[in-house]
Amino acid sequence: MNQMNGAGKTAIHERSTGELVKLLTEQVSVLVRDELKLAQLEMTRKGKEAGSGIGMMGGGGLIALYGVACLIACAVIAISHAIAAWLAALIVGVALLVIAGIVAAVGRGRMRRASPAMPTEAVDSIKTDVEQIKERARR
């Protein structure tokens, strides 16, 4: 509350420690709720984008599978002109299993290096908020 005294000076009403603690508690509560909402929205957005991408990759993979099957049949038929058809199919099958093992091993290594799915924007925002609170508490 501002009051003017006869000399024209402003007297400022100081808040009690209890009022300040209550205000701080309310503001921290609102801040935490807002940060949780931000994290939820960010994860929802990322989930939708990932779902869409996974669906498209699945469709592309299915079409590629049919294309590869045709190429495999072509390779077996081409080799079968030189050797028995069963032996040509065996050679192509073993080669494909070796390639699949190598690709799976490389994919496993990349999955291990991948960062966890985390709401990075919300985490950065929370860190900034904590730093600001610490800085204000020091003053």
Helix pair angle (17-80, 120-138), 10° resolution: 160
Residue 59 lies in a domain: yes
Residue 131 lies in a domain: yes
Do 68 and 51 form a contact (C-beta atoms < 8 A)?
A: no
Choose among 39, 15, 29: nearest CA to 121. Answer: 39
Least confident segment among 19-33, 68-82, 87-101:
19-33
Residue 10 lies in a domain: no
Residue 12 has pLDDT above 60, yes or no: no
Residue 29 lies in a domain: yes
Residue 67 lies in a domain: yes
| Mean pLDDT of the region 37-58 | 88
